[in-house]
Amino acid sequence: MAKGKLPLNDLAGGAGRMDVLIRALMSSILTSHGMRENVEFTMILLGGPGPARRIRFVSNELKGIHAEERAVAGKIAAVIREPIPPRGHWIERSPGIYDGGGDLDMTLDEWNCPMVNLNAESKSLYSGVIPNNFKIDDIGFILGDDRELVCERGNRRSLGSMWLQGHTCIAIIHFLLDEGVELQL
């Protein structure tokens, strides 16, 4: 849902699988006992009538986010009750949560980093080799939902031949980055 009243009691159905997006968000920004540093997660909402909406979560600025889907859904619900901002404009709705109009192409245009489009049928993302001087700069990963994401941007890479849920892919990528595994970008 890009706008309206988010049904907190039906995140898996009436909310357009908002539960999947929330799990991906939580996998991106949360650790076991805190928040990851320097992570931005942009959720692109295309459901319902009207324009697309983007909600960006900036881990270093977030307040009041913890590992409980319904509480996170409440934060999202507060955003989508507001009018959608114009394309390309961001409004801070609460600390670390920004609301903006726009779509995937606009988001990718704003990113100034290498991009990886995860796809199970592509070349492997990792080589299994840990370089001595590993340093990760900004990098963006593009994930879709239950259908293959049609996106020509970014290098297409895979975490294996099986299609995985988005939040699982995010956890694997964080593990690879945390361990300093060389990525084939």
What pLDDT does 101 receive? 95
pTM over 0.85: no
What pLDDT does 133 receive? 54
pLDDT averaged over 10-residue windows placed end to end, the chain, 185 residues: 82 79 90 88 87 95 88 92 94 97 91 82 71 61 71 78 82 84 78
* Residue (of 79, 117, 86) closest to 102 by Cα position: 86
Instruction: Locate 123 and state its tokens.
Output: 């070349």
What pLDDT does 166 receive? 83
Fold classification of 18-103 (topology level): Alpha/beta knot (3.40.1280)
Residue whose token pair is 């975490």: 159
Q: Which residues contact 109 (CB under 8 A, 6 or more apart)?
A: none
What pLDDT does 55 receive? 97
Q: Report how far residue 61's alpha carbon sits from residue 90's, in angstroms, rounded to the nearest whole number.
A: 15
Residue intervals of the chain classified under CATH 3.40.1280.10 are 18-103
DSSP E strands in 83-149: the ranges are 90-94, 97-101, 115-124, 140-142
